[in-house]
Amino acid sequence: MARILITGSTDGLGLANARTLLAAGHEVILHARSPERASDLGALAQRSAGIVTGDLSSITETRDLAEQVNTIGRMDAVIHNAGVYLSSTRIATVDGHSRTLAVNVLAPYLLTALIERPDRLVYVTSGMHLGASGDLDDIDWTSRRWNASAAYSESKLHVAALAAAVARHWTDVRSNSVDPGWVPTKMGGPGAPDDLELGHLTQVWLAAGDDPAANVTGAYWHHQRQQSPAPEVTDVAFQDRLIGTLTKLTGTSLF
């Protein structure tokens, strides 16, 4: 059985992942933004192999979260599920970053760099990344007029490219990104048209499955099928520029 960390596992897709993996007998490390949010996990907490807490919009708390995980021990897989959706304005974090960038991109980047290297990494992206700009000059939205949809789409382009860059550099790790679809979670809303079960099963399959079809790295998935991501995702030059930008913003090197 595998030991798996799931970020953002108090609701939505992360919670669905946790329930499915626990039912299959895996050791699951749950993550909550705060101790108060952790208390919402109820009986699920008792079945888990541990709970780590930290607000992923804060670089300091994200670093502390990585330390908590490493104290528990090496993970077999990490599902980078936590994310924020559309913000009507540019919400600045305690570090001055856009919250969309901080939670959706900087946090998974930092956790990837700081958590002891697992065998498998799964990053949750979105089909909206296909319409994102590949311009990296203002990824923190300090110069441009805020556009919630564009900021979210760009963050998901960046996390998909991060997954591909990790796959290229860490050949001993299976690193993939997943578009779960527009599913009826708190983030997606009750009117979302996609199936919630299909929305989370690909993450579980990639993190803990033994299907030979999932024994790949550097792929972009939707409902257990490989799809073609935006060209920037597999563009080595774009990946390198992105990693350089994230290194500067966080003060932490990944490769």
Q: Which residue of the set 109, 152, 186, 220 is catalytic?
A: 152
CA proximity to 127, closest of 163, 181, 81? 181
- C-alpha span between 222 and 212 (Å, rounded): 17
* CA R_g for the chain: 17
Per 3-state DSSP, what percentage of the chain is helix, strand, and coil (rounded to 5)? 45, 15, 40
Give Cβ neighbours of residue 134 (< 8 Å, ≥ 6 apart).
157, 230, 231, 232, 238
152 is catalytic: yes
156 is catalytic: yes
Q: Give the CB-side neighbour count of residue 141, counting CA atoms within 13 A.
A: 24
Q: Which residue of the set 109, 123, 156, 220 is catalytic?
A: 156
- C-alpha span between 125 and 222 (Å, rounded): 10
Catalytic residues: 152, 156
